[in-house]
Structure formats: structure tokens, C-alpha cells
Structure 1
Amino acid sequence: MEENYTKPPFKKILVIDDNATDRYIAKRMAEKYHFAEEIVLHESAVEALEYIISLEATPHLLPQFIFLDINMPGMNGYEFLDEYSKLSETIKINCIIMMITTSLHPNDLERAESNPLVIRFLNKPIDKEKLIMIQEEFPLTNREN
């Protein structure tokens, strides 16, 4: 993934994180390395859930990836997953969830990895290496959509 890469491999990603700095870093890295055409940021899991639900009738507008923080005020990442699991299959088959955290607690890793909705558990911050790994592991591209 080079900086002069012309067409981002993904159409849209959603970053759900209450920390403004972490949201900024995720957005900046995705922009810098042309990871997605559109980067949607939400600091609240509740707002993000509402956003996702609002796109159910237009699944092609759903984010291909959701980067979900664990520890957030209000609804945390695990509570988000509980609510997300109740959504339609139309939504769930179109979005890949990756949990992001600064937590080094083994229980967080175990809990995230045991949830079938969570495809990966990543430590913050999102960086070039993580974006390359995702692109290589999930070869969905704009050219296919």
C-alpha cells in the first residue's frame, strides 16, 4: 500500500471510538494509505448503531469494516456487539468487525476472540502495517463491487 496508490481497496470503513485522538489517527492512516474511499467516525456506539441501522435498506452503503473500541462510556464495545447481533443478516453479512483497544487485559482478548461477530482483535493505534494485513487478509475491493 503506497501513498500514491490511486484507487482505495475498500469503499467505506466505520471507526467507533470515544477517544478523539484515536479516531484522528485511524482516519489519518486510512487516508494516508488510501485504504477506503470513505471513513465514517462515531464517538458513540449508540450513534454508530443507529447509523448502521439507517443503511439496512441500502446494503451497498454499509461499511465493509467496523473498527470497534472496547472501552467507551455509555454503550461499550461488547454491549454494541450484543445489540448488533440482533440486527438483520443483511447488515451482518456486509460488515466485518475488528475490535480495537489499548487494553492488554487477557480477558478482553479472550472475550473478543470468542465472539463470532469479531473477526480480529487489534491493538491501537491503527497503522500502516495493520492496514496492509487487513487488505491482504480480506481481498474485497472496489473493483469487485
Structure 2
Amino acid sequence: MFEFNAPIDTDQMQAVATGHAQTMERWEDGPNGRRSSGEPLLDEATGAPVRIYDVMLPTGRDGRHEMHGVRVISHEAPELAPYSQVELVGLVAKVRQARNGGKGVDVAFTAEAIRPAGPQRATGRRSADTTAEAA
């Protein structure tokens, strides 16, 4: 199976938060099969919780935004307002052949951190609204 890991330059990417994040749970094997322990999944190397943030990325046809889960391992868990721009620090895409012999590819995104985008990343619409208010 071929896998391709690629760091992504996020300077021009307009990632948008959905406001939904979930801390992954640790699973345990028991006599009745695998079950959730109810405890957070912790990264073995850092001891930080593993969270999945739903983020809209411009990966669709003609640059349209599509929703992807981005895996972030961090002690910080910022509250992200829905439909706000975010910065994904150290974003990496892992691309591999589709599972079970399906056509296409599977893409998994991971990032070192997620945070609200700074004021320098305001969209053209916001800057136009600000200009109109100043006049």
C-alpha cells in the first residue's frame, strides 16, 4: 500500500471551524469485546489528549470547502466559534489508496495545533465591511 505524507502550507488556506470538537476515548479489550473506557485517549509520547476538530478545508472541486476531521494532539483545547477562520499549525495530509479496494484515495489530516486565525487573515468581505464603516 502506498502512503504519502505531505506538510501543507497553510498561509493561503482559509480553514473554517465548524465549532465541533470531540476528545477521543480510550478503548479497552474485555471478556465481552472492545468497549469505551469513558476516559480520554492520551498520546503515549506527550501524554496530551487526542481531539478531532471538524474543519472545512478548500479541498473540493474549484476550491469549494469540504468538512474534514483534523486530528490534534495537544493539552490546549481552544473554543472555536462556528464559521470562524482558524489556523492549523503543522498541518499534514496523509494520502493512501482507498480501503477495501475502493476507487480513489483516503485522506487523513493531522495538525500540531489549532487556533483562531489572526486579524491579518481577515477575508476580503470583512475588510470591505470595515472600510464601509470607516467612511
**How high is the TM-score relative to the length of structure 2?**
0.21
Q: Which has the higher helix share?
A: 1
